[in-house]
Structure 1
Amino acid sequence: MNKLVLLFTLFLEYTITLGDRYYIEEKWNQFLNMNNKKYEPWDSKKRFEIFTKNMHMMEAHNKRFLRGSESFKMDIGPFSDQTEEEFMLKFETHTSPFRSSMEHAEFNSFVENHNERLPNQVDYRNKMQPAKDQKNCKASWAFAAVAVVEGMSKLRFKQDISLSEQNLVDCALGNEFMSNGCEGGSPWGALLYMKLHGIDTSQNYPYTGVHSRCRSISNSSVHLKSPHLMHLSEYDLMRTVGATGPVATTIEVTPTLMHYKSGIVFDRKCVGKTTNHAVTIVGYGVQDGFQYWLVRNSWGHNWGDQGYFKMARNYGNNCQIGISAFFADVSQ
């Protein structure tokens, strides 16, 4: 009898292991197709091993999510074949630009003119272009700023236009714009460059993900008013987003966001006072009693909720969200 129990236990363990292997291989093939991934033979085994480890971690996380001990769900995405250390190499440290007293006064009067009652929920996703992918270029600063201008153009003038992040990567360089192409930059510098020099369309100046020689443009696709740097409470930030439109901000990214799929992120790993990634706040709301920011990322539509995620709101600026925020209105 004991032998039968032992044999049955071994058979059950073998069946589970075999089923787990088939499941992971199926997910692996899905991941490769979804992200158009191809590897050299020497790298393929390593990537599959990392993917398998990440799959097991995600499954454990999602079990905790179903029990209510995690606030968001994970799933395979563009970084599922990477280690946490590899993932974190994508980010750079952001610093806040100098803010003149004139810019500060302009913004104060701007906020004071928007004291009307705000909606409990705002979602500008239908005013935005489809999610874009910065690839291996540290250009989140350009994507966050461009998303603000694209969204404001559609909100103000119903102008449905995709603007060129590559134009900024190639041209918005140096101390004046606090940017260095694919080695990082500032959403403030991107907005300032667009105000002074304009910006081309994605069609005319397509994204390559590498820094190249700046190409002159004959006619700007949009016209910006003065950009604003804001250091605000989350309540004031909500007023700005609700009354005006999308706002760029910088956040601290940790490996917690790596495999995000849905739900609200409250990242306990965010302990620093510096930020390393720029995103665009495109709304806010409440879900299951928890307040959140609706955030547009620049990791493509295969990451997160079609390129978006929700981050905890009014939880002490979790991951520094909104502590430095950037806005610019547009004109025709």
Structure 2
Amino acid sequence: MNTPRPTTSAGSRPARLAVGVVGAGRVGPALAAALQLAGHRPVAASGVSDASRRRAAALLPEVPLVDPARVLAMSDLVLLTVPDDALPDLVRGLAETGAVRPGQLVVHTSGRHGVAVLDPARRAGGLPLAIHPAMTFTGTAVDVQRLAGCPFGVTAPEELRLAAEALVVEMGGEPEWIPEEVRPLYHAALAIGSNHLVTLVAQARDLLTAAGVQNPGRMLGPLLGAALDNALRSGDDALTGPVARGDAGTVAAHITELRRHAPQTVASYLAMARATADRALANGTLKAEAAEALLGVLADGGPADGGTA
């Protein structure tokens, strides 16, 4: 394998790189902009949709939009920031057409994939890195600021670990090394914590609006902030509420009201309540004697006696 370009200098700073972006979605332009702040030079990006073009224009002004092959031809480091399912075909196509150059850093930002997906590029002489920022992106300049202290899930060949670490640090992030074989598990954990959280919060907002609350966000903010902080600090010991207490009647009332006003939320309520009950039972928060009626309500999807609450 060729020696990677971003070797450290006497000042312990990686060599300056020409950076290209294939896939100007929410992630790629922000990472390239962060690398620019560190002294690297964004030189090209590819994007098809109007939204991609707007993002590139806002975050990478004066950087030309060209086709992916041209991006690679202009770049020392190329960021492949396309959807997970599109990544294997993209890498294979770029390698088969000779777009990948020996010694070129080929970096993807998929959470699911490690470096194996970059094998076609590696066989062409590319230097493969998997660098996944554990952050939700908006596609705006605020993302660049949020990268400060952001953990990155990093997978790299042993000989490229220093190069991967240097890039993450220069973007303001903190590398967390993820073995190749557990990348899907790592990504599932983040999806549960982030993507599902958005769905739950959006459902809570909708229900408060239906209940006549004028500013659902203001009501939820302190509660959810405290719950998140407690959960991160204490794990299952932070469980509170009617499920953790075994208040079967209250849970039954919730289900009745959800069926009446927001039936589309019943399935997720039941699924999360069952998962909460399991965890509360396991750590002793929910006592076995209080759990029987609760679990009966959750199994039936309604009041334990079949009536209304």
TM-score normalised by L of structure 1 = 0.23
Larger-gyration structure (1/2): 2
TM-score normalised by L of structure 2 = 0.24
Q: Relative contact order: is structure 1 or structure 2 higher (C-alpha 8 Å, sep ≥ 6)?
A: 1
